[in-house]
Structure 1
Amino acid sequence: MKFLQLTDIHLTAPGQTIGGRDPNKNFAQAIEHAMKHHSDAEAMFITGDLSDWGETDDYKRLAEQLDKLPLPVHLCIGNHDDRPTFLKQFPDLEGDGGFVHSVVPLSIGHAILLDTWGPESHAGFFCEDRAKWLSYQLTELDGPIWIFMHHNPVPSHVKPMDEIMLLDSSRFGEIIRPFKDKISHILHGHCHLPLSGTFHGIPFFAPRGTNHAGWPNFAAERLLSAADLTESYAVIFADKNSTMIHMVEYGYKGNVRNEGSPEYADWDKITMIR
């Protein structure tokens, strides 16, 4: 099974840039690259910050782009989004309690998409209603399960970033901990950094994003840091026993070189290319 994760696409009004980059152009290039190399993926997941300002026109243009794709695309919302505006454009994505959460059957197991959005805040939220919904899904669904969400549930140890992480991470942890043998991975965005680790024994991963990149400035006290690193998305290969994730830096403009054969017999100072 193969599926794709894009995150933090931050669509804006045409012509506007973020960090000197055009998020609309970069998202289009991500889609083009993904469809050229991974059109056999069974699904695409976009984990939030779909619009930079939560504006109707951004969601309309996103819907138009997604309608052209040959594979199903599933959406989370992030702190830059606006849930009421989003649901006007994507009314079918409104779940129980008015949240943008859903369950997606996969060829192996299921995906659960969580809504961690809260009004007038960049931080993430996981209230009791969301906790009850997730607990029910984890109880009823067959595994393996991949959880997609926007906000990071684990501190990055970058102070200004951790002020806007999932504030209810303890409640989230209490819900998922009993199901650690059923949950394959948590996949999130938000930080604009490639991150991996574990939470209550469950692996998590985040790719950098399709536009502006973050930087782990551990000395930062108030402001987030950015860097001119290349745009990326994730390709996930999975079966019942394993998950392999690649962060594909599709925005890289340099050369890709051959550096020799994997055959041990060819490894010598004459034939190896360095």
Structure 2
Amino acid sequence: MKLIQLTDIHLTTPGNTIGGRDPNENFRKALDHALTQHLDADALIITGDLSDWGDRTDYVRLKETLSCVSVPVQLCIGNHDERDVFLSVFPERVDEHGFVQSVFDLPLGTGIVLDTWGPGSHAGYYCETRRDWLDGQLKAASGPVFLFMHHNPVPIGIAPMDKIMLQDHEAFAALVKKHRDKVRHIFHGHCHLPLSGSLCGVPFSAPRGTNHAGWPDFANQGNLSASDLPESYAVVLVDEISVMVHMIEYGYQGAVRREGSPDYADWNRLTMVR
């Protein structure tokens, strides 16, 4: 099974940039790269911050763009989004409680999109109503489950980012622990950093994002930190016993060198590129 994860696309009014980069153009490049290289993907999931300011026109353009994508697409919302505005364009994405949550079939299990949005805050929230919903979905799932969310459910050790992580993370962790025999992997975004780790024994990961990049500035106590690292998305390869996550830095503009053969017998000082 192959999945594509894009995150933090931050669509803006055409012509506006973020960190000197055009998020609309970078999203287009990410889609083109992913669908050219990985048209065999079983699903494409965008884990939030679809719009930079929650403007309806951004969601309209997003829907138009995705209408041409042959791979099944799933959407999360993030702190930069506006749930009611998003749902005015994507009404089919709402669950029975008014949240942007859904369950979808995958070749090797079940995917679940989570809504960690909260009004008037960059932090994430996963209230009792949402937890009860997820608990029910996890109970009903017969096979491995892959969770997709925007906010990081674990502190990353960088103070400004940890202030805006998932605020109900302990309750969320308890729910994950309860179902850790089913939850195979958690995918998130929000931090604009390549991250991996585990929560109650369940692995999680995040790519950098398709536009502006963060920087792990552990000494900074008050500001979010940015960098000019390449834009990226993730390709996820899954089989019955393993999950492999690649961060694809499609924004890299340098050379790609073929340095030699993986066969040990072919390694020598004349043919290996150094």
Place the TM-score, normalised by the shorter chain, in its bin.
over 0.9
User: Partners in 2 of 1:42 and 1:178 — Cα distance?
Assistant: 28
Is 1:175 matched up with 2:175? yes
Could you tell me which residue of structure 2 aligns to residue 4 of structure 1?
4
User: Partners in 2 of 1:158 and 1:134 — Cα distance?
Assistant: 28
RMSD: 0.6
Could you tell me which residue of structure 2 aligns to residue 218 of structure 1?
218
User: Partners in 2 of 1:91 and 1:222 — Cα distance?
Assistant: 37
Find runs of 4+ consecutive structure 1 residues off by over 3 angstroms.
none
Could you tell me which residue of structure 2 aligns to residue 34 of structure 1?
34
Q: Which residues of 2 match residues 101-116 of structure 1 at below 5 A?
A: 101-116=101-116
Structure 2 segments unaligned to the other structure (5+ residues): none
CA apart distance, 1:168: 0.2
Is 1:15 matched up with 2:10? no
CA apart distance, 1:271: 2.1
CA apart distance, 1:241: 1.1
Structure 1 segments unaligned to the other structure (5+ residues): none
Could you tell me which residue of structure 2 aligns to residue 198 of structure 1?
198
User: Partners in 2 of 1:41 and 1:76 — Cα distance?
Assistant: 18
Q: TM-score, normalised by structure 1?
A: 0.99
Q: Which amino acid is the alignment partner of residue 177 of structure 1?
A: K
**Deviation string, structure 1 residues 192-216 (Cα, Å, up to 9, x no partner):** 0000000100000000000000001
1:9 touches 1:49 (CA, 8 Å); kept in 2? yes
Match of 2:250, SS? Answer: coil
Matched positions, count = 274
Q: TM-score, normalised by structure 2?
A: 0.99
Q: Which amino acid is the alignment partner of residue 215 of structure 1?
A: W
Could you tell me which residue of structure 1 aligns to residue 60 of structure 2?
60
User: Partners in 2 of 1:140 and 1:165 — Cα distance?
Assistant: 28
User: Partners in 2 of 1:262 and 1:184 — Cα distance?
Assistant: 31
**Deviation string, structure 1 residues 160-201 (Cα, Å, up to 9, x no partner):** 000000000001011110211211100000000000000100
1:144 touches 1:240 (CA, 8 Å); kept in 2? no
Could you tell me which residue of structure 1 aligns to residue 256 of structure 2?
256
What percent of counterpart residues are identical?
Answer: 60
Match of 1:156, SS? Answer: coil
User: Partners in 2 of 1:214 and 1:271 — Cα distance?
Assistant: 38
Is 1:246 matched up with 2:246? yes
CA apart distance, 1:273: 1.6
Could you tell me which residue of structure 2 aligns to residue 272 of structure 1?
272
User: Partners in 2 of 1:4 and 1:39 — Cα distance?
Assistant: 10
Is 1:137 matched up with 2:137? yes
Could you tell me which residue of structure 2 aligns to residue 150 of structure 1?
150
Between 1:6-15 and 1:180-189, the stretch displaced more is 180-189
Q: Which amino acid is the alignment partner of residue 134 of structure 2?
A: L
Match of 1:224, SS? Answer: coil
